[in-house]
Homo-oligomer: A and B are copies of this chain.
Amino acid sequence: MIEEEVLKIIKPTEEDKKGIEKVLEIIRERLNKLDFEVEGSFRKGTWLRQDTDIDVFVFYPKDVGKEYLERNALNDIINRIKDLDYTLAYAEHPYVIVNINNVEVDIVPALRVESGDKAITAVDRTPFHTKYVTSHLDERGKDEVRLLKRFMKGIGVYGAELKVQGFSGYATELLIIYYGNFRKVLEEASKWKHPIKIELTKPMKIFSEPLIIPDPVDPKRNVTAAVSLKNIATFSIAAKYYLKNPSIEFFFPSKKVEEKVKGDVLILRLNLDEKSSEDIVWGQIKRSVNKIERALKQYGFRVIDVQAWGDTNNITIAVQLESKNIGQYYLNIGPQYYSETIEDFIQKNDNIWVGEDGRLYSIKERKEYDAETIAKKNIVLKVKYNIESYWLQNTEDQQIMKFLRKTPTWLK
């Protein structure tokens, strides 16, 4: 069976576990006498073999406050590991990434609170998530989570980061806890229609998002608040198609794709100078994609699709139009002949005529009719960047090919 084959690939071996434990030993020594805990999927036993980032949380009394975490706590941690290969990273507040034997250990300062709903910073809730999951999942359940994670990765809906707007690890764990196993999650998801409510606990707030999973450790929070409707829909469709015709392609899409250019496709290659946090860059990229699409439509272009991909430094935005030639002039619809505004219309317009419907019409010149200029003007990046843009002729680039093909290989 496919799921067993997949598990063979994604389930870590005892050896994998030992390798990570060895790395953790080093970290444990360094954090000696601090109040620290291993969190995340490694601790919960839901990690995938390929995933090699481990979360270690260092807790401080809640009274020290956020500022203390960001300065004193962080400095203390850095002092303890500064001889190792480390970098600083930023989420809601800064944390340290240490790289040992290609295992990435995130050391995150957090506040020790009494319960999940008392969290002061977003990370304070994490130990309660860990407790909830470990106490609700048995060994088989952990494998079911692994299957669900890999499935979601395969179809591109896994990851809470802004770039993906997908499902978090915790969300996959709650789905398995609620529905029981991977297959059952798919069966239910294949029937989803938003708003979808999955209540392991009664919500303590009215949520407006399409997928609502109130956090069992903090029911005024929706665990899947940031999952986009696009990802919910994609997951639902993939679930339906997998159940009808299971295939490894859902978990590990590998088919090379090929497709010709349909319509006019503008490729914008952005190169960002500074190193910024991924969520900040992708927040701006997502906003740019939306602005480009809206502006092009407003200027009269028929937009087929606008997508962005890449990492934090090299980003491609692809803009697909039915045609880049919309003409320099457009039909302007004016008032009815009996309107008080006709004199104003006649004065301000040229090429005016009366239509069969009794309205005045005129021809107006577009303020802008070059799609490339409009697209470039609507990129809203706050960091410096270089841009290269061209109208696509043909390509070997697999990412562009995927953009042109659109249809996921697991679908058709």
Contacts and interface: CB of A to CB of B under 8 A. Distances in A.
Given A302-B330, A342-B237, A351 B263 contact: no
Given A232-B358, A322-B326, A338-B193, A412 B304 contact: no
A259 to B, nearest CB: 7
Nearest to A330: B322
Interface of A: 191-194, 210, 228-230, 232-234, 236-237, 240, 259, 262-264, 300, 302-305, 321-323, 325-331, 336-338, 342, 346, 350-363, 365, 404-407, 411-412
A191 B411 CA distance: 63
A361 B305 contact: yes
28 contacts: A194-B338, A194-B358, A229-B358, A232-B358, A233-B337, A236-B338, A237-B337, A237-B342, A237-B360, A262-B329, A262-B363, A262-B365, A263-B328, A263-B329, A263-B363, A300-B322, A302-B326, A304-B331, A304-B363, A322-B327, A323-B325, A323-B326, A346-B412, A352-B406, A352-B411, A352-B412, A362-B406, A363-B406
Contact of A327 (B323, B328, B362): B323
Nearest to A353: B406
Contacts of A233: 336-338, 354, 358-359
Q: Across the A-B interface, give the 6 residue pairs with the lowest CB-CB distance, nearest first.
A: A323-B327, A233-B337, A193-B338, A325-B325, A322-B327, A233-B358
Contacts of A336: 233
Contacts of A356: 228-230
Contacts of A354: 230, 233-234, 237
A329 to B, nearest CB: 4
Contact of A357 (B229, B359, B360): B229
Given A232-B358, A355-B230, A303 B331 contact: yes
Nearest to A286: B356
A323 B354 CA distance: 22
Contacts of A351: 259, 262, 404-407
Contacts of A304: 329-331, 363
A351 B302 CA distance: 17
A236 to B, nearest CB: 5
Nearest to A232: B358
Contacts of A329: 262-263, 304, 322
A412 B240 CA distance: 64
Nearest to A228: B356
Contacts of A232: 337, 358
Most interface-central of A302, A323, A362 (chain B CB within 10 A): A323
Contacts of A331: 302-305, 322
Nearest to A362: B406
Contact of A263 (B305, B327, B361): B327
B230 A346 contact: no
Given A233-B338, A321-B327, 11 more contacts: A193-B338, A234-B354, A237-B337, A259-B351, A263-B327, A263-B328, A325-B325, A351-B405, A352-B411, A353-B406, A362-B406
